[in-house]
Structure 1
Amino acid sequence: MSAVNDPQVWTLIGVFTTIMLGAMTLMTVQINRTIAASINGLRGEMIGRFDGVHGRIDGVHHRIDGVHHRIDGLHSEMNARFDTMDTKFEHLDRDVTALSRHIWRDTTGD
């Protein structure tokens, strides 16, 4: 068996160190790519879910706007009906006053 001299030992140490550093670099790059891909996938899923929630909120907002428009329409309709009733009550009050004056005038005149 032949003995390994000093330059050969240092060469073997250098080759081993280069292989180990290369393997560590390769593993680090692969882990970083895997983590980045996982984060990007999670980011895409979260954006999709947030968009879905945003769409639901917009749908609720549109329904609420529709309800507000209906309430505004009912409010206007009720105000118009109340105005009509006020007018009818004013006419009724005028007629009752005229009748009561007519009746009381007739009774006091006897």
Structure 2
Amino acid sequence: MYDETEFTAPAMPTRFLSHGTLGCHDLQKSRRLYEVFLGIETMQTSPISLMIRLGTEHVYAVVQVKNKDKMPRYYHNGLDVETVEDVDSAHETAVAQAEIWGLTDISRPVEQHGT
């Protein structure tokens, strides 16, 4: 065991969180969703992967996998908008266009994470 009070600085010389990974069933459908529906910048990096980003240099690798399980709701990523009205409008758009984009399990917006 160790005494946490002994540590005055991080053990690792980290600078920033640079990337994450998301799985998908169909890379081209996912790319279209990210670009057209969400307005996210995409770049194809291989036949089975994309890099995506929006507003910062932080990127996600999107990788097509054969046996992707449904992701539990507590594994999620947030996209910010300016106002509560924008949140409500985004929800209405998602519901209205769900069939076009293959969206399922759309929940009503709730305030969480303090935002």
> Which structure has the higher relative contact order (CA within 8 Å, separation 6+)?
2
Instruction: Indicate the structure (1 or 2) with the bigger Cα radius of gyration.
Output: 1
**TM-score after normalising by structure 2:** 0.16
Considering fraction of residues, name the structure with more helix. 1
**TM-score after normalising by structure 1:** 0.16
